[in-house]
Amino acid sequence: MSAAPKPRPAIVPAPPRTRVTPGGTVRVIGTLLATNYSFWYGPNQALHDITVEAKPNAVTALIGPSGCGKSTFLRSINRLQELSPRTRHTGDIAFDGESVFARSVDPVELRRRIGMVFQRPNPFPKSVFDNVAYGPRVTGAARERDLPRIVERALTHAALWDEVKDRLDDLGTSLSGGQQQRLCIARALAHEPEVLLMDEPCSALDPIATQKIEELIVDLKREYTIVLVTHNMQQAARVSDYTGFFFLGRLVEFGTTQQIFTSPRDERTEAYITGRFG
Amino acid sequence: MKGRLIRRLTGSLMTGLTYGAAAVAVLPLAAILGMLIVKGAGSVNLDFFVKSAVPLGESGGGFAYAIVGTLIIVGLACLVGLPIGVGTGIYLAEFGGGWFGFTVRFLADILNGTPSVVIGIVVWSLVVKPMGHFSAFAGGCALAIILVPIVARTTEEMVRLVPNSLREAALALGYPRWRTSLFVVVRTARAAIVTGCLVAVARVAGETAPLLFTAFGNQFFSTRILQPMAALPLQIYDYAVGPYDDWHRLAWAGALVLIGLVLVLSLVARLVVGRGARRHA
C-alpha cells in the first residue's frame, strides 16, 4: 500500500465491563477460559487438550496453518461446531466462570452473548437495516421504535454508518465486500455481546478493506473480548495482544503477541512465524 | 494448420448436432401446439368459457363447468398437497439426515414414479368406496397425492441450495434452529419453492387417469365438492371419443385451453423466479 496509514488517535482503554454478582462482588465479564478441551469428528481427533484464556479488552489471535483446528476451536466457543453430525468433546470452555456446556446454558442464549463474524461476509438477502435489526428483533429485547437507534449505533460502532446511512433500504448483499463484512460485524454488535469471535474476517477482502477491519478490531477491543482466527501472521502481529499458535490440533505456544513474535519458545512456532512452513 | 481445420470442423459439427437435438426435442411440442391452434382456436369463444354442455342434438355449448371443475379440484389438491409437500421438503433438506429422512426420500421417489392411474385406483378404494360415490374431493385427494412428492423433492433441492453460511450466520446470532430454517433458509429459497410448486400444479392440472376413478366427471355445472365434478381433462377425453363432430370441436378447444392454462402457470413461475434471481444477484 502506498498510502501511509493515517495516525490513529491513541486508544483510551475503557474501564472493563463488569457485573455485580448476587453476592455483591463486582466481576469483570467477557472472560473465556478453555481447559483441556479436546474435540472429535467421528473417530478423528481435531483438538488435543487445548488450554487457553481470552481476556476482556484484548485481542487474542489464534494462528496456525490450515486445518490445524483453530476454526474448530473458535466455533466450539459458541457451540456452533457441535451442530455437525457425529462430533464430541471432552474438557471444558468456561465463559465468565460458567461452563458453556453446562446443562443450564441454552446455546441459543449463549450465542446472543457471543457474537461471531465469519470468513466470508454472509449478510442476509435483506435490507441493510433489517440485517442489523435481525438480532434485537428476534430476541424481543428491543421495541420496534427503538430499532432505528440500535441499528444506527451498531453501524456506527462498525464504522459503516457514514457509508450506508442513505442506503439503509438497499440490499445488504449489494454492498462491497468490505462493507458487507462490516455489516456483519454491526449485525453481531447489535446484540451487545460480551465477546466477538472472528474467523479470518479479512481473508476474502482486499488490502484497503482489510486495513479498515483491522482498525475496527483495535477500536472494538475497548469494549469487547475479541478472539481472532487468522492465517495472516502480520495481521496477528498488528492487532492482537495475545497470540496462540495452533499446530496439528494442539496449542503449541501461547503468550503475549510480542513474546510470540520476538522470542518464541517452541521451535515449531519459530519455524512457522519465520515462514519456514505453513 | 491442418489440425486446426479438423478441430474447427469437429467443433462446427458438434454445435450443429446439439442444435439438431434441440430442434428434434421441440418439434413434437410445436406440432401439438400447432395442431391444437388449427383445430381448436376456432371454437374458443366467449360461449366456451361461460356456457355448459347443451342437450344432445343442439349445437353450441361450452366447457364452463369443466373449467370451473378443474379449478376447484386443482385448488383442493393444492390446499392439501402444497403445505404437506413444502413441509416435507423443508424437513428433508434441513433435518432429514437420518434413517427416517432416507426412508421419506426413498418413498417420495417411488411415489413420483408411480403411474397416476394407480394413484386413482388407490384413492378410489380409500375415499370413493367408503363414501359410496364419486366426488371432487376424491379427485382433489388423488391429485394431492401426485403433488406431494414432486413438491417435496423440488423444495428439498431448492432449500439445499441456500448457502450454509446463511444458516450459520443466523445460528450465531442466537436464532433458534426452527426460526433459522423458517425465516432465513426458507425465505431465501422462497422464489424457487414457489416456482417448484407452480410447475407441479401445472403438471397435475392435466392429469386425466386419476380423475376417472375419483371426480368421475359431470355433465352439469356443479360446485359441490362432495359430488362428482367435471374437469377439463375428463371432458376432453369424453368428448374426443364421442361420436359427434360438435363434441370433437369442443374437445380440441378444451385441449387448447388446458395447454393455455399450463402455459400461464409456467410463465408465472418463470416470472417469479426471474424476480427472485434479480433480487439475490
What distance separates the 2 farthest-apart alpha carbons in chain B?
A: 80
Interchain contact, B165 vs A118, CB within 8 Å: yes
Do residues A198 and A226 touch, judged by C-beta distance below 8 A? yes
Do residues A248 and A45 touch, judged by C-beta distance below 8 A? no
Q: Is pLDDT above 80 for A44?
A: yes
Do residues A219 and A11 touch, judged by C-beta distance below 8 A? yes
> What local confidence, expressed as pLDDT, does residue A20 receive?
59
pLDDT along chain B (281 residues), means of 10: 86 96 94 91 84 76 87 94 95 89 94 92 93 92 95 94 90 88 86 88 90 85 85 90 87 91 85 61 37
Q: How far is CA B11 from the centre of its chain?
A: 38
State the Cα–Cα distance between residues A53 and B217, nearest whole angstrom: 75
Do residues A56 and A64 touch, judged by C-beta distance below 8 A? no
> What local confidence, expressed as pLDDT, does residue B121 receive?
93
Q: What percent of chain A has pLDDT above 70?
A: 88
Q: Which residues of A touch B (CB under 8 A)?
A: 78, 80, 83, 85, 108-112, 115-116, 118, 120, 122-125, 134-135, 138-139, 171, 173, 184, 187-188, 191
> What local confidence, expressed as pLDDT, does residue B45 receive?
85
Interchain contact, A111 vs B279, CB within 8 Å: no
Q: How far is CA B108 from the centre of its chain?
A: 16
Give whole-number Cα distances, A215 to A5, A7, A44, A122, A177, in Å. Answer: 10, 11, 38, 21, 16
Which chain B residue lies closest to A112 (C-alpha atoms)?
B174
Facing B168 at nearest CB: one of A118, A125, A191:
A118
Q: Is pLDDT above 70 for A145?
A: yes
The predicted model scores a pTM of 0.77
Residue B140: Cβ within 10 Å count: 29
Supply φ then ψ for residue A116, to 5 degrees. Answer: -140, 140
Supply φ then ψ for residue A38, to 5 degrees. Answer: -125, 150
Give whole-number Cα distances, A132 to A138, A161, A186, A228, B221, in Å. Answer: 11, 11, 6, 21, 55
List of residues 6+ apart from A116 with CB closer than 8 A = A74, A75, A78, A80, A188, A196, A197, A198, A199, B172
Q: Give the gyration radius of chain B's Cα atoms.
A: 23
State the Cα–Cα distance between residues A101 and A81, nearest whole angstrom: 12
Which chain A residue lies closest to B184 (C-alpha atoms)?
A124
Q: What percent of chain A has pLDDT above 90?
A: 54
Pairs across A and B, CB distance < 8 A? 57
Name beta bridge partners: A239.
none
Degrees (nearest 5) of the Cα angle B239, B241, B243?
Answer: 85
Q: What is the DSSP letter of B43?
A: G
- Residue of A106, A122, A132, A192 to mutate, interface with B, max B Cβ within 10 Å: A122
Q: Is pLDDT above 50 for A1?
A: no
Q: Which residues in chain A have their CB less than 8 angstroms from residue B97's CB?
A: 85
Interchain contact, B171 vs A83, CB within 8 Å: yes
Facing A173 at nearest CB: one of B174, B184, B280:
B280
Do residues B269 and B194 touch, judged by C-beta distance below 8 A? yes
Beta strands A18-20; A26-28: pairing state = antiparallel
Interchain contact, B176 vs A108, CB within 8 Å: yes
> What local confidence, expressed as pLDDT, does residue A26 receive?
61
Task: Select from B207, B75, B209 the least CA-distant residue to B137.
Answer: B75
Count of alpha carbons within 13 Å of B145, Cβ hemisphere only? 25
Interchain contact, B166 vs A124, CB within 8 Å: yes
Q: What is the DSSP letter of A59?
A: E
Interchain contact, A80 vs B175, CB within 8 Å: no
pLDDT per position as a tens digit, A3-34 = 444 444 444 445 556 655 566 666 667 889 99
Interchain contact, B174 vs A184, CB within 8 Å: no
Do residues A198 and A227 touch, judged by C-beta distance below 8 A? yes
> What local confidence, expressed as pLDDT, does residue A17 receive?
63
- Residue of B95, B102, B173, B279 to mutate, interface with A, max A Cβ within 10 Å: B173
Q: What is the mean pLDDT of chain A?
A: 86
Do residues B191 and B154 touch, judged by C-beta distance below 8 A? no
> What local confidence, expressed as pLDDT, does residue B125 receive?
94
State the Cα–Cα distance between residues A215 and A155, nearest whole angstrom: 15
State the Cα–Cα distance between residues A235 and A231, nearest whole angstrom: 8
Do residues A210 and A218 touch, judged by C-beta distance below 8 A? no
How many helices (H) and strands (E) chain B has is answered by 14, 0
Q: How far is CA A102 from the centre of its chain?
A: 22
Q: Cell 481470552, residue?
A: A54
Summarize the confidence of residues A165-190 as an average pLDDT: 92
State the Cα–Cα distance between residues B278 and B281, nearest whole angstrom: 5
Interchain contact, B168 vs A173, CB within 8 Å: no
Q: What is the DSSP letter of A69?
A: S
> What local confidence, expressed as pLDDT, does residue B215 receive?
87
3-state secondary structure (DSSP) of residue A115: strand
